Chains A and B, each alone.
Chain A
Amino acid sequence: MGNGTGIGRVRGLGSAKSGTHHWINQRITAVGNLLLVLWLIFSLLQLPSLDYLAVTAWLAKSWVAVPMILMLISIFYHLRLGLQVVIEDYVHEDGTKFATLLLLNFYAIGGAALGIFAIAKIAFTGAAS
């Protein structure tokens, strides 16, 4: 350990390494969730029916499929950041913490991929008629 100033020894250490980035992205995706989920809720309320034909025809439109994909990215990014903090608060044992965070990453990336693929499939294969 060097014998520099206090701030020099602290810089880049501890939890202060990359917290700001995490914090800002949590806020950016919060605004994304706010706009996109409200849009989804009010769109669903406008649909004449939520049956198979109505839902697939709606999801196949590009001005629906694109915001839906953006919404999935925003939600899963936000929940990955959010649950990471929750896990770090309650899981203290190093091994378990590593495993839980690994699981969280699989869940977030896998869930987003599954949802985006479903939308793309509906959009590209056309609404079933």
Chain B
Amino acid sequence: MIKIQNVNKYFYKGESREVHALRDINLEIKKGEFSLFNGPSGCGKTTLLNAIGALDSVDSGEIYLGETEITGLNEDARTSLRLNEMGFVFQAYNLVPVLNVEENIGFIMKLRGFSDSEIKARVQEVASFLEIDTKLKSLPNTLSGGQQQRVAVARAVAAKPKIILADEPTANLDSKNSLKLMDMMRSLNEKEDISIVFASHDELVIDNVRRVIKLKDGALVED
């Protein structure tokens, strides 16, 4: 489903402090996968995830989502691709503070134009699956970190994206909450058949995924 071909990415290209963040990456991620980009800090996990998520451009090579070449799209097309095909979970603080849990979960569906009744039903479904259905009317800042991160996952999953990209989703959580989050995300992956790709150096994440893709200094070293 995602095909990455000869991708290179530089920061500060041409300057003395140039960083070769991604080196000749070739990779395929299939539908329904539950995988992880792993490696030491600075090896390029986030950079690769952002490139797949159409959040960032690359300097050479191509990334395909199905038939679409992401790397050739303009900003508007990438925005709409992110909205319609992808789900994101970031490290922390990625809920809208002035909206309650229910509205946060339904946010992307709303942007995509689902009807209110569809949104309500779907929000109820994912919220009860992620065990946050008792908090639907609460504001994000009244929730624990683990609950907030599950709301973020619920928001990403609610609109049924093709793929969810999660960058260090457990970094701000304790091990109990991390484990719970990973369990739930794996069940979602199985139940809804959504591909999920993590970028993380958390042992707990490594133990729970089915595929580990190791990076070092921007290059793929182990799959």
Do these two chains really belong together in a complex?
Answer: no
- A interface residues (Cβ-Cβ under 8 A, vs B): none
- B interface residues (Cβ-Cβ under 8 A, vs A): none
